[in-house]
Amino acid sequence: MTQPAIRYELLHTCKQTGARLGIVHTPHGSFETPAFMPVGTQATVKTMSPEELKEMNAGIILSNTYHLWLRPGNDIVKEAGGLHKFMNWDRPILTDSGGFQVFSLSQFRKIEEEGVHFRNHLNGDKLFLSPEKAMEIQNDLGSDIMMAFDECPPYPATYDYMLKSVDRTTRWAKRCKEAHARPEEQGLFGIIQGGEYEELRRRSAEALVELDFPGYAIGGLSVGEPKDVMNQVLEFTTPLMPTNKPRYLMGVGSPDSLIDGAIRGIDMFDCVLPTRIARNGTLMTSEGRLVVKNAKYARDFGPIDPNCDCYTCKNYSRAYVRHLIRTEETFGIRLTSYHNLHFLLKLMEQVREAIREDRLGDFREEFFEKYGFNGPNAKNF
């Protein structure tokens, strides 16, 4: 029997919280979990080189099927020898299915059983994406982990709407599995939907677990619901997921949610947050968020974060970074992006260490206190 493309190895369960320390093995190497995946939408993590991502210990990155299908085209990526060769990244890559972009970027869309009709957000052309097409594109891209094509319902949605959506997502997941051409080289994850309805999350999880995917994601969160609702959904959803397979929470990347997600049994996270907020000069530091454009930093010649050992903090001052961001210099965005990505990847190292030492609950308390998440008007991103 051939070795599955994706294999999860559980190393330790935190006695204090139940969080999992593990390793995901892929055709392009292994990465430790819980892991944060930087997002490389257009086959690049904005302004960062692959070498810089390795410097900050990124074990896996994410790329977007929808965007690469439109530009440069999956045929061109395939001709280049796949995404790894195309972008010169030899570590694992996860690709999303394109579903989220179809539902969030397109003004016009029509959902049918066959798939989704929508307009290209770049030029208005009519396009059609189905489970089969999403598999074909991802097979061409050659990612290590690919995602099933799911319906991304709006938040909030009624129970009846969500029920229909969950059942369609299950039928589409089945079609994805049948259309997936290279299961021994690429692992296909199913996506559990169901909004905030416990009964529907259970229905979705049970149907997908029966299809026996090598990993499972929780979709439909981080779409505008309050944090406590997200945590509640995780509390009743993760126990429904197999313990011997990776669990991925899609689109989540604020420091508090990474810690809270790990405590609730999540292994993988992704989000554009660190690079998106970096572009307007918002930085994550060990003592909370810092908006470097603020006037008070004009003559501040200290580092962004005195407790950070990243390239930006070791070499440049708040005053200099502020100047670059205010003058819209690309180098400023590179420095802020580097720092934010380094911060989150370092945070995940600390989370893994805390799990290993059975003290993730204590670590959460210390981190939240220092970061300012416990205050009455705690700022979030």
Residue list for the binding site for Zn(2+): 308, 310, 313, 339
140, 260, 267, 270: which one is catalytic?
A: 270
Task: Write down how long the chain is.
Answer: 381
Instruction: Give the CA angle between residues 368, 230, 159 to the nearest 5°.
Output: 165
The encoded tokens of residue 205 equal 């999880």
Residue stretches of the annotated binding site: 96-100, 150, 193, 220, 308, 310, 313, 339
The 10 Å Cβ neighbour count of residue 216 is 25
| CA-closest candidate to residue 282, choices 269, 297, 263 | 297
CB 16 within 8 A of CB 361: yes
> Rounded distance, CA 314 to CA 268, Å?
29
Q: Are 275 and 41 in contact (CB under 8 A)?
A: no
**Catalytic residue chosen out of the listed positions 96, 140, 267, 305:** 96
Is 96 considered catalytic here? yes
Q: Give dist(CA 286, CA 78) in Å, integer.
A: 42
Strand partners, 188: 146
Q: How far is CA 35 from CA 23, 183, 246, 267, 367, in A?
A: 9, 23, 11, 6, 18
Torsion 41-44-50-53 (CA) sign? negative
Running DSSP on this structure, what letter comes out for residue 3?
A: P
Residue with tokens 């440049």: 316
Q: Provide CB contacts within 8 A for 152, sequence distance 6+.
A: 99, 100, 102, 103, 104, 193, 219, 220, 223
As a dihedral over the C-alpha atoms of residue 197, residue 198, residue 202, residue 208, rounded to 10 degrees, the angle is: 40
Active site residue 270: yes
* Residue 212 CB contacts under 8 Å (≥ 6 apart), including other chains: none
- Angstrom distance (rounded) from CA 136 to CA 364: 42
> Which residues form the catalytic set?
96, 270
